[in-house]
Structure 1
Amino acid sequence: MRHLLAWTLVAAAALAAAPPAAGATGHPTTCPRLSSNWYGDNRARLQHVIDTRGTCAARPVPGRQRPIAVFDWDNTVTKNDVTDATLAWSLGHDRVLRPARWKDTSKWLTDAADRALTAACGTGVPVGAPLPTSANPRCTDEILEIREHATTMSGAPAFAGTWDHRRTVPQYAWVPQLFAGHTPAELSSYARAARREALAAPVGATRTLGTHTVPAYVRYYDQQRDLVRTLQRAGFDVHIVSAGSEPITEVWSRGVGIDPAHTLAIRSVLDRRGRITPWNFGCGGIPATRGEAIPYIDGKRCWINQEIYGIRGAAAWRKQPRPQRPALAAGDADTDVTFVGDATAAHLVLNRNKPELMCRAYDDADGRWLINPMFLDPLPRRPDPYPCSTAAFNEPDGSTGPVLRDDGTVVPDQRDTVY
């Protein structure tokens, strides 16, 4: 309450010192201005959201919730994946600890993957000791292949069983599980080291780990940094929601002025010694599991509802009334489609050719979808239409189906026009 009162007094003083002047749109022009370049009219449309939804546009009302903005992280705020960058750094510096059994790392890991990892990584170091991955390309290859493609190097499925494909994906959940035995502080230190290397590497740089070629660089998008900071100055409460590891994402989110309390990602359960386990906290009435309810597709909605709006139990999985939804949401992949679609003022999409998300974006059912090419190395135009009417929706059982609007009508196939 003390913080709310202080903020209210500061905002009121600022408004009193600078009375709003009517702009061309008829809205106050005292809101902070975006300064970066965007595709088409996206900058003007984002500025309109800031001008009309920000607390800078009207005198604050005590007790009224600040408007919420939520961003995905990897390939939305940064170019390239920061959890993958940390994993790559860790493999190059022998930071993955040998598990007693590889099958202990994931409830869905197959016998074939267990055998492949055991054969490649060996049993020469004690359980709990660092694997010499920097000098063992076979071990590194198996880990990266499973992370990237959910298969072993021989092509065998690495994960099997039943899971809700709109709430989790095993290879995403597996990365935090690979760091079992470390403390969050240790994992954060690996993320900081990886961050230094990735920001220093030239744009476009790659590295070879085993036989895998992976990106060696990460960049903050200047446009997104500008947008986040402008939203914050305009009174928005800005959050990150990611399917990466939370200690890693927290290291990076500080770079755009977002603190750990506003950063949601896969949150590992710790043992009595404060070390990461293969278990993670659940959402929406689901208890701690080994990866069944991570911030992934519908899981991102659940984590936003639970952690930002305080909605508990099964209700957290459901779309909420407008006052309990973000004003602005931004993402780049199908994993973001649900929470980005929940936004009430603007759905910001970076085009990475992900079918379900792009079907929603191009259909633009409410007229509030904003599509922007990637700011670095944008993809070329997708040659074929997105199969929205038949096979772009990710079903819970892993199959695909048509994308439906809220009224039940089918979204027609969409051509790629923003690239």
Structure 2
Amino acid sequence: MQRRQFLNTLAAVSVSSTVLLKAGQAQAATTTQLSAPTLDPARWSPLNAKRLQLVLDEHGVKSKHYNANKRPYAVFDWDNTCIMNDCEEALLMYQINHLQYKLTPDEFVEVMWKDVPKGPFMKDYTTVDGKPVTMDDLAADVEADYRWLHANYKGLAGSMSLEEIQASDQFKDFRAKLYFMYDAICDTHPLEIGYKWIIYFYKNMSTAELQAMAEASNNHDIGDALRKVKYESPKTLPGKAGVVADTHFHGIRIHEEIRALMNALRSNGIDVYVSTASIDDVVRVFAGHPNYGYGVPAENVIGLRLEMQDGKYTDNYKAGWHFNWGPGKTVGIRNVLVAAKGYGPVLVAGDSDGDAWMLRDFADTSVGVIVNRMKKGEIGADSKLAAEQLGTPQARFILQGRDEHTGLMLPDEKSLKYGKAERKLLA
């Protein structure tokens, strides 16, 4: 009798414990759902803030359909999406200004000519007096400048300080003509040539050396004014190409709205990835360093890659690795993410033709966020769709405005271009 009472009591306790355990688990799940933060509207356009919150509600932990074993994810372009301006082009100018190369003159010439066709550039790339410029003549001038700089700068093989070097006509010629060369290559030939060319100059650097330079460049440009500077080569050194000029947009700004969106996505159980047409190791510094606040793990950045040799970068693009721009970004997402997860991103963000395909290529994508730079082309087509869907609760594409004078988002779909006084919606 006592044994039977004991067993009945034990059974009752077991049932009660199970009920309490399940109730506790349900309460914990409910608490997690209730505690998932909402999006800070900040300077998002009001319509965009609502649309993005809807994505969090419908796909994050608050959703009754949320599956922790099948976590949704978002993919962001980096340059001019997560930040104002381009961190790799800023790094190109920083590398030039500080002569941070680990290349002999012969190696520099080899890299400079890597995959670049000989002959004239497109008609827009002329001398200041309107004469055509060829790669052959421009390269000859840059080579002569680099040989002089290498022989004289104490950071390479000489004894002159950086300040003395920067005051020389050879340096001013080198800076103006090398930057002119980059823009001319990108605009004259397929972008794949120019975007790979810029990273070949990291040859002989270790990952730590490149990332230290990238961090210094980021910090320099975050502290710099947003300003466009025209660099003209000295008339005292016309060389073979003649006098040329080009403009660089200095300064970088963190887009706090994007940074906060990334944190809101993660807090709502949605993973965050970056897809960039810059080399991944450079963007990993900005996306992952705690000083900048984006919190993206290194392994979540997909970008361009180089072959390594003895722990150093070579000037050879990684064999078998796609070119991560335009249609290539879709390839990267499919090969790296969809292949592992079995589904596409719920949110994609971008700003240019390099992002246009990934913004629209995945059936699983609920919304494509376009940082509005009023561009034509492929991204212009996506932007037009966004304009047509303005105010639609389930808009597939949304446009987010920005002021290029301050680098701040605007609570508007329209943007203000640098040097302009009126906001515009489309190109």
- Alignment TM-score, normalising by the size of structure 2: 0.69
- SS at 1:41 equivalent: helix
Q: Which residue of 1 aligns with 2:92?
A: 87
Which has the larger displacement, 254-263 or 50-59?
50-59
Separation in 2 of the partners of 1:250 and 1:13? 40
- The match for 2:371 among 350, 360, 369 is 350
Separation in 1 of the partners of 2:107 and 2:213? 23
Matched-pair contact (CA < 8 Å) for 2:384–2:426: no
Separation in 2 of the partners of 1:354 and 1:116? 30
Separation in 2 of the partners of 1:158 and 1:337? 21
Separation in 2 of the partners of 1:53 and 1:375? 31
The answer to whether structure 1 residue 102 and structure 2 residue 71 are counterparts is no
Q: Which residue of 2 aligns with 1:121?
A: 143
**Structure 2 stretches of 5 or more lacking a match?**
1-22, 120-133, 233-244, 406-414
Matched-pair contact (CA < 8 Å) for 1:329–1:340: yes
CA RMSD of superposed structures (Å): 3.3
Separation in 1 of the partners of 2:182 and 2:219? 23
Change (3 A) 1:185 1:209: farther
1:323 Cα deviation (Å)? 5.3
Matched-pair contact (CA < 8 Å) for 2:404–2:416: no
Alignment of 1:222-233 (within 5 A): 222-233=256-267
- SS at 1:243 equivalent: strand
Q: Which residue of 2 aligns with 1:141?
A: 176
Matched-pair contact (CA < 8 Å) for 2:403–2:416: no
Separation in 1 of the partners of 2:177 and 2:253? 27
Matched-pair contact (CA < 8 Å) for 1:80–1:219: yes
- SS at 2:274 equivalent: strand
- SS at 1:330 equivalent: strand
Matched-pair contact (CA < 8 Å) for 1:101–1:114: no
Matched-pair contact (CA < 8 Å) for 2:60–2:66: no
Separation in 1 of the partners of 2:368 and 2:106? 42
Q: Which residue of 2 aligns with 1:369?
A: 397
1:51 Cα deviation (Å)? 0.8
The answer to whether structure 1 residue 306 and structure 2 residue 311 are counterparts is no
- SS at 2:358 equivalent: helix
Which letter maps to 2:201?
A: L
Q: Which has the higher contact order (CA 8 A, sep 6+)?
A: 2
Separation in 1 of the partners of 2:260 and 2:108? 46
Which letter maps to 1:175?
A: I
1:115 Cα deviation (Å)? 4.2
Separation in 2 of the partners of 1:99 and 1:15? 68
Change (3 A) 1:335 1:18: same
Matched-pair contact (CA < 8 Å) for 1:110–1:158: no
Q: Which residue of 2 aligns with 1:6?
A: none
- The match for 2:273 among 236, 239, 242 is 239
Q: Which residue of 1 aligns with 2:203?
A: 180
Separation in 2 of the partners of 1:114 and 1:276? 26
Matched-pair contact (CA < 8 Å) for 1:102–1:118: no
Alignment of 1:290-329 (within 5 A): 293-310=322-339, 324-329=343-348
Which has the larger displacement, 336-345 or 356-365?
356-365
Separation in 2 of the partners of 1:237 and 1:243? 20
Change (3 A) 1:43 1:29: farther
Separation in 1 of the partners of 2:36 and 2:416? 33
Change (3 A) 1:38 1:61: closer
Which letter maps to 2:88?
A: T
Alignment of 1:14-25 (within 5 A): 16-17=27-28, 19=30
Separation in 2 of the partners of 1:75 and 1:130? 33
- Alignment TM-score, normalising by the size of structure 1: 0.71
* Cα distance per residue 1:246-268 (max 9 Å; x no partner): 22111111221112111111111
- SS at 2:338 equivalent: coil
The answer to whether structure 1 residue 32 and structure 2 residue 54 are counterparts is no
1:103 Cα deviation (Å)? 4.9
Q: Which residue of 2 aligns with 1:318?
A: none
Matched-pair contact (CA < 8 Å) for 1:200–1:217: yes
1:350 Cα deviation (Å)? 1.0
Which letter maps to 1:260?
A: A
Matched-pair contact (CA < 8 Å) for 1:31–1:51: no
State the percentage of identical aligned residues.
21
1:418 Cα deviation (Å)? 6.1
Alignment of 1:199-278 (within 5 A): 199-202=222-225, 204-206=226-228, 211-254=245-288, 255=292, 256-271=294-309, 273-278=310-315
Separation in 1 of the partners of 2:61 and 2:208? 36
1:380 Cα deviation (Å)? 5.2
Alignment of 1:50-61 (within 5 A): 50-58=56-64, 61=67
Larger radius of gyration: 2
Q: Which residue of 2 aligns with 1:336?
A: 355
- SS at 1:238 equivalent: strand
1:194 Cα deviation (Å)? 0.9
Matched-pair contact (CA < 8 Å) for 1:102–1:114: no
Which letter maps to 2:352?
A: A
1:65 Cα deviation (Å)? 2.2
Change (3 A) 1:188 1:277: same
* Cα distance per residue 1:390-417 (max 9 Å; x no partner): xxxxxxxxxxxxxxxxxxxxxxxxxx63
Matched-pair contact (CA < 8 Å) for 1:172–1:244: yes
Q: Which residue of 1 aligns with 2:52?
A: 46
